[in-house]
């Protein structure tokens, strides 16, 4: 069972600071492989949400199909989460809110399994495979190591902000 009261005195300052929205026109959101509370995707989704609230999301979109995988897994409404993020809490406060408010209340083992599954996720249908391959072909046609959505997103973020494929 999750402990659902956030005692800000026990969290480091970098976790409880007020919302500092990233400018996603200047820098990519965190990798989909980054973890918060064991959840893959969550730090990236929070970056996109904060940037959208601040008007600095650029080409990134909060509540995209990837974000929706997270929302379904934990059982959180994206608009309720966005409203909570708009209050300005840091990552720790948002994680605590998710753990308290989610309909599904996944266990730590379920979170670890789901996150590992997300890390290894590949396109599973013709339409998503065509989309994946189109981006891959455009940014790094000679890279044979790009197999998962995480691989592609990390590479695309790197290239979009000046890195070499």
- The predicted-structure confidence for 5-14, as pLDDT tens digits, reads as follows 333 333 443 4
Three-state helix/strand/coil letters over the chain: CCCCCCCHHHCCHHHHCCCCCCCCCCCCCCCCCCEECCEECHHHHHHHHHHHHHCCCCCCCCCCHHHHHHHHHHCCCHHHHHHHHHCCCCHHHHHHHHHHHCCCCCCHHHHHHHHHHHHCCCCCCHHHHHHHHHHHHHHCCCCCCCCCHHHHHHHHHHHHCCCCC
Name the band, by pLDDT with cuts 50, 70 and 90, for residue 20.
Answer: confident
Query: What pTM did the predictor assign?
Result: 0.87
Give per-residue pLDDT as tens, 33-46.
999 999 999 999 99
Q: Which residues contact 137 (CB under 8 A, 6 or more apart)?
A: none
- 62-69 LR contacts (CB < 8 Å, sep 24+): 66/32, 66/41, 66/149, 66/153, 67/41, 69/41, 69/118
* Domain boundaries of the chain, sorted by first residue: 10-121, 123-165
Give burial (CB, 10 Å; 0-12/13-18/19+) of 54: middle
Q: What is the pLDDT of residues 71-129, one digit of tens each?
A: 999 999 999 999 999 999 999 999 999 999 999 999 999 999 999 999 999 999 999 99
Q: Which band of pLDDT confidence, cut at 50, 70 and 90, is reported for residue 165?
A: confident
- pLDDT tens, 140-149? 999 999 999 9
């Amino acid at each position: 069972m999750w402990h659902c009261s956030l005692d800000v005195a026990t969290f480091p300052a970098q976790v409880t600071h007020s919302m500092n929205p990233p400018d996603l026109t200047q820098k990519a959101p965190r990798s989909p492989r980054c973890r918060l509370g064991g959840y893959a995707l969550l730090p990236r989704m929070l970056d996109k949400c904060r940037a959208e609230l601040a008007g600095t999301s650029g080409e990134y979109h909060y509540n995209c199909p990837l974000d929706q995988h997270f929302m379904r897994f934990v059982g959180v409404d994206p608009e309720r989460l966005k409203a909570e993020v708009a209050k300005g809490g840091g990552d720790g406060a948002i994680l605590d809110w998710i753990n308290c408010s989610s309909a599904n209340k996944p266990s730590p083992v379920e979170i670890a399994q789901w996150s590992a599954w997300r890390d290894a996720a590949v396109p599973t249908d013709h339409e998503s495979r065509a989309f994946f391959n189109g981006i891959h072909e455009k940014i790094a046609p000679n890279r044979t190591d790009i197999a998962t959505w995480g691989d592609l997103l990390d590479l695309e973020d790197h290239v979009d902000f000046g890195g070499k494929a």
